[in-house]
Structure 1
């Protein structure tokens, strides 16, 4: 828990993966719109994070107060630009790993698709947790 102006705040982080429903032609434009909307909205609810798009999948880290993150997650579940949203890592954090980034995104990256697929194709919960941690670490390194 973190104290801010006398108010106790509990930060949490989650990582989700989802499948894109966008066409190859529409994806660059739509993902740019997603990043721009995130950069405008997230500061208003004190959410930080990072977005990764492989061409076929999204991976996103969201950090903030649990209520704000859960509210955003509900919106994401309803977004028709992706489907099969799976939260692969979720828990409390002592400090933000993506501090200073309302939503870090630097363009489509097919080179990291193997990290996403390792999470999705994991044989068991332990392997999935390990793969999710590796993906999250890569994304945090990306924003660093």
Structure 2
């Protein structure tokens, strides 16, 4: 199992960001499912951060397409390598949607991670795994 964490700056205009990111997530989920890749995407404060996990060749193929994608600039691979297990095994591409909470929560870790901070990378991964855990718990609760 191979895992890759990257961050990038968005080239999207704020007025078009919500619709464009929704389209990106929809296409990403389809692509990831076909490639047996899982992961989580966060977007806020003009930044993307994403963890991709799966077979190394599939993850690297997706990363190459992200590097060519004009919606991303200043792409930085923050961490990559073998992983014992998938963090997001039940998500082709987890995404919280736009919110001020997400923007505030990821701004510092993304900024620190881009400067090479291991703590920033760890905090960013923690935010994503906490989001996954809360969504997993919420989906297992009976509906009202």
Structure 2 residue aligned with 1:88, among 72, 75, 78?
78
Residue in 1 that maps onto 2:32: 42
Residue in 1 that maps onto 2:104: 111
Q: Report if aligned partners of 2:113, 2:120 keep a CA contact under 8 Å in 1.
A: yes
For residues 10-63 of structure 1, the C-alpha deviation after alignment (integer angstroms, 9 at most, x for no partner) is: x11010000000000010000000111111111111000000001310000000
TM-score (norm 2): 0.86
- Unpaired stretches in structure 1, ≥5 consecutive residues: 1-10
Residue in 2 that maps onto 1:5: none
Q: Report if aligned partners of 2:7, 2:76 keep a CA contact under 8 Å in 1.
A: yes
Correspondences of 1:5-84 after superposition (within 5 Å): 11-84=1-74
**Alignment partner of 1:102 is 2:92:** yes
Query: Structure 2: how far apart are the matches of 1:59 and 1:141?
Result: 15
Structure 1 residue aligned with 2:132, among 121, 124, 143?
143
**Number of corresponding residues:** 129
Query: Structure 2: how far apart are the matches of 1:131 and 1:54?
Result: 16
Cα-Cα RMSD: 1.1
- Structure 1 consecutive aligned stretches of length 4 or more whose deviation exceeds 3 Å: none
Bigger proportion of residues as helix = 2
For residues 67-103 of structure 1, the C-alpha deviation after alignment (integer angstroms, 9 at most, x for no partner) is: 0000000000000011011000111111100110000
SS of alignment partner, residue 142 of structure 1: helix
Q: Report if aligned partners of 1:47, 1:63 keep a CA contact under 8 Å in 2.
A: yes
